[in-house]
Amino acid sequence: MRPIVIPESHNYIAAFLTLACNLRCSYCINKFETGHLEKDRLTGKQWVEGLNRIQSRDDLPVTLQGGEPSLHPDFPFILNNVRRDLNIDVLTNLQFDIEKFMKQVDPDRIKRKAPYASIRVSYHPQTMKLEPLVKKVLRMQEAGYSIGIWGVLHPSQEREILAAQQFAKGKGIDFRTKEFLGVHEGRMHAR
């Protein structure tokens, strides 16, 4: 198969391993599918074959995301078998067994020089507890993973996100926010 050359004008590469998620946030941007989200999913081998065709630059990683990418049954296989010269980032809610994950995936596989963490954990206060999440992130940091937390400043939880940011930063975790883009209570929130 021919390589997939990413144009210089592109600034993000997303690979949605699955749209399935183990959380049910009311504001989820992927909440458009009402059917069985695992149907017709690519195998890990198919993902690796496709991703390995990508020709990208060092500052443009492929971000494995979803839904929740760790729900793909071949998630560690994909991480371990994508070409080593292709930078990989992960966008996750981290609601999986991190000890098992750390035995399967070396921290250097998901680490690159960048102004933000290679593993970006999305914090959703509507469906997650902050303290256990912070403990997991700290454990992975100690093991050498490039990991941080991100929270969307949704109007219904902005105060909670900002308080969580202060708590996490106090523990030495990079916690960043993103503005909410979408409709809430009939009002469009956009740049």
81 CB contacts (<8 Å, ≥6 apart)?
44, 48
Per-residue pLDDT tens digits for 157-178: 999 999 999 999 999 999 999 8
pTM of the model: 0.90
Mean pLDDT of 82-97: 96
Per-residue pLDDT tens digits for 9-37: 999 999 999 988 888 877 776 665 555 55
β-strands 62-66, 88-92 pairing: parallel
Q: What is the pLDDT of residue 37?
A: 52
DSSP codes, 110-145: G--S-SS-SEEEEE-TTT--HHHHHHHHHHHHHTT-
| Joined tokens for residue 45 | 């081998």
The CATH class of 4-189 is alpha beta
Q: Across the strands, what pairs with 119? A: 90, 147
Poorest-confidence range of 27-31, 51-55, 85-89? 27-31
Q: Name residue, tokens 């695992």.
A: 38
Instruction: Give the CA radius of gyration of the chain.
Output: 17
Q: Across the strands, what pairs with 182? A: 189
Hey, where are the domains in the chain? Answer: 4-189
Share of the chain above pLDDT 70, in %: 94
